[in-house]
Amino acid sequence: MKKLLILFITLSLNIACSKDDNNSSNNPTTSNGLSVKINGVLWEGSILGNMLDESSEQFVVNSLNQKSNEVFGFTMDYYDGPGAYPKAKDNLAFVSYARIDKNIFLNVSGTAFVVNVTNVETVAGVKKVHGNFSGTLKSVAGEVLLFTEGKF
């Protein structure tokens, strides 16, 4: 139940914040950015949320591309320090990308997605993860997208 609540909050934040601040930077070279190539095309977004909760062993990262109003994010369980996620025992690892054409891509059966946490920082008392990622996501219609060179 706790995982579903975190998922709901994550999606709600993505939707609620998608139109709030038109002055946010989309520069992934700052600590507030995320970048990835989607099928070879660079996608950049501002990080809306980045939180590590060691008591629940979960971390969440969500990003918004202000120009296209597209969102990308992931939630992973069983955090135990820097390394590759999801862990084998994580049955609810969640990765999503909502495209401008309203297609939503998820890490469903037949897809693989890896998030590598390389370091953790504490900002104003909140722990944040940083690293890289890659993998594939699939839409309900069956379209598959390849994510490469992801950084957050």
Residue 88: CB atoms within 10 A of its CB come to 6
What's the pLDDT at 127? Answer: 97
CA–CA separation, 33 vs 113, rounded Å?
A: 20
What's the pLDDT at 32? Answer: 73
Interval 56-89: pLDDT, tens: 999 999 999 999 999 999 999 999 999 999 998 8
pTM over 0.85: no
The 8-class DSSP code of residue 89 comes to T
CA–CA separation, 129 vs 122, rounded Å?
A: 9
Determine contact, residues 118/82, Cβ cutoff 8 Å: yes
The 8-class DSSP code of residue 41 comes to E
Higher pLDDT, 48 or 110: 48
Determine contact, residues 107/137, Cβ cutoff 8 Å: yes
